[in-house]
Amino acid sequence: MKNFVLRAIQKIDQLDSNQIVDILKSQSREVEMLENVLESIEDGVILTDSKLRINYANSNCPNLVPMVRSRNYEGQPLSKVIEDEHVLRYIVLSVYNRADDLDNEFTFQRGSKVQTVAVNVFTYKLQEAKGLSSYVLMFTDVTEHNANEARMRRSENLASMTTMAAGVAHEIKNPLAAMGIHLQLLKKAFVRQNCLTLEDAERYLDVFEEEVNRLNGIVVDFLFAVRPLDTRLRMGSIVKTLSDICSFVEPELAEHKVVLTCDLSSSLPRLEFDENLLKQALLNLIKNAMNAMEGGGKIRLQAKADGNHVVIMVSDTGTGMDDETLQKIFEPYFTTKATGTGLGLTVVYKIMKEHHGDISVESKLGEGTTFTLSFPIPKSERLSLTEPVKEGLYEA
Ligand code: ADP
Ligand code: MG
């Protein structure tokens, strides 16, 4: 339709008045249809010109952001219409590409309810406007969406607490049973001999000591896994932290005939991360990789930017895992090792959540495993793909 009208404009002097009336009618029908679409959606939509003067606003806008109520906003400067200074400031900074680090969600009291509204600003260029930008402002009610997310997080936490509690109960059963049996044996020995030397009693007491240590280990690991991490995110380069880790683990890996290669892109964007927690996560992964290569092998630590994320990969040439094992590895207390705690990957998962990141794994039985940690690149570090700053845009 747009192309048809553009062609018609070029040949306008060859058209008679009836043809022109037809074109105008079809245009008016199209505008009406688009307005109906914009009126039917739940979001608020405002279209403005390059100086933030309103061309169009749908009737839902005043229900979402505090603004002057009017039948027709056409031609009015946005600054005279939007009544909330924070929303207005956000829109103006967005237009200047300076709002990347600001939160785009705003909370308003509506009677007895609190409403959260997300503001998004999109830029587009019209050919007829000689390349000047126009803006689409979208206001979306995210109150319900945010509440659902919070509910989901709570139930996820509750579910993992239940699994953890079940795990602990299972774990402490064995040491308690061993202690019970040895207490009985000690009693019997005492009854039999009436008096026990330390030497006689030591067989039983040693077991006691061992099991108490085991119980203590279970409790310490449990507390580490469930307690909220004391996360201190700081903006910085991960390259130094990663090469520190490589130097730290290399001697121990060499003892186990494991060759480590570190492949770190030097131009990585900076990240918000907690250095100690990142080290802890990588040490857990490297230790698991080493454990999976009894007779030696290779570990590769890689870090690179991938879209809006930095990914750190730990690959090994170890035993790999079958699908059944893969399903369970992040469950607390799942271990295939005789002396494993089964909490290493639970902790890594938790650390990644603290970084708003993710962890994934690929594994092939008999070939090896790759764990991938993915960290979001802070908005301020992303390459600015939008237009450069324009002057004189904001009309008060
Ligand atoms: P743990 O190391 O105490 O067993 P983790 O949570 O660190 O506990 O790991 C859970 C299980 O996941 C391990 O017992 C092992 O079966 C499996 N696993 C983890 N990393 C690897 C790896 N790189 N290669 C093969 N199996 C692995
Ligand atoms: Mg482990």
**From 163, 258, 280, 288, mutation site for ligand 1 pocket: most ligand atoms within 8 A of C-beta:** 288
Distance (Å) of CA 281 to CA 161, 208, 278, 318, 326: 21, 33, 5, 19, 18
DSSP letter (8 states) at residue 385 = -
Give Cα 374 to chain centroid, integer Å: 9
Amino acid at 127: Q
CA–CA dist 341, 361 (Å, integer): 20
Task: Find where tokens 């939007």 sit.
Answer: 82
Question: Do 370 and 389 form a contact (C-beta atoms < 8 A)?
Answer: no
Q: Find out whether the beta carbon of 330 lies less than 6 Å from any atom of ligand 1.
A: no
Distance in angstroms (rounded) separating the CA atoms of residues 214 and 234: 36
Residue nearest to atom 12 of ligand 1 (CA): 329
pLDDT attached to residue 385: 36
In this prediction, residue 383 carries a pLDDT of 54
Measuring CA to CA, how many Å separate 8 from each of 5, 223, 289? 5, 74, 68
Whether the CB of 337 sits within 6 Å of ligand 1: yes
Residue 21 token pair: 């009336």
341 CA: nearest ligand 1 atom: 3
pLDDT tens-digit map of 125-171: 776 666 788 999 999 999 999 888 888 877 776 777 787 788 788 88
State pLDDT tens for residues 342-352.
Answer: 889 988 998 99
Q: CA 306 to CA 54: how far, in whole Å? A: 38
**From the alpha carbon of 334, which atom of ligand 1 is closest?**
10
- Element spanning 378, H or E: none
Please tell me what DSSP assigns to residue 338.
T
Ligand nearest to the CA of 293: 1
Residues of the chain whose pLDDT is less than 50?
Answer: 384-396
pLDDT of residue 164: 76
pLDDT score recorded for residue 387: 39
Q: Cβ(274) to ligand 1 under 6 A? A: no
Q: What's the CA gap between 161 and 228, in Å, rounded?
A: 12
Cα–Cα distance for residue pair 47/354, rounded to 1 Å: 38
Number of the ligand closest to the Cα of 171: 1
What whole-number distance in Å separates Cα of residue 148 and Cα of residue 153? 9
What is the residue-wise DSSP string for 84-153? -HHHHHHHHHHHTT--TTS--EEEEEETTEEEEEEEEEEEEE-TTTTT-EEEEEEEEE-HHHHHHHHHHH
Q: Which of 345, 369, 372 to mutate to test the pocket of ligand 1 (most atoms within 8 A of CB)?
A: 345
Ligand 1, residue 316: give the atom nearest the CA.
23
* Ligand 1 atom with minimal separation from the 345 CA: 6
Counting ligand 1 atoms within 8 A of each CB, the residue from 335, 363, 372, 373 with the most, and so the one to mutate, is 335
| Ligand 1 contacts CB of residue 297 (under 6 A) | no
AA letter at 39: E
Q: Are 284 and 344 contacting, i.e. CB atoms less than 8 angstroms apart?
A: yes
- Contact 153/214 with Cβ under 8 angstroms? no
Q: Which ligand is nearest to the CA of 333?
A: 1
Domains of the chain are: 2-147 (3.30.450.20), 149-226 (1.10.287), 234-381 (3.30.565.10)
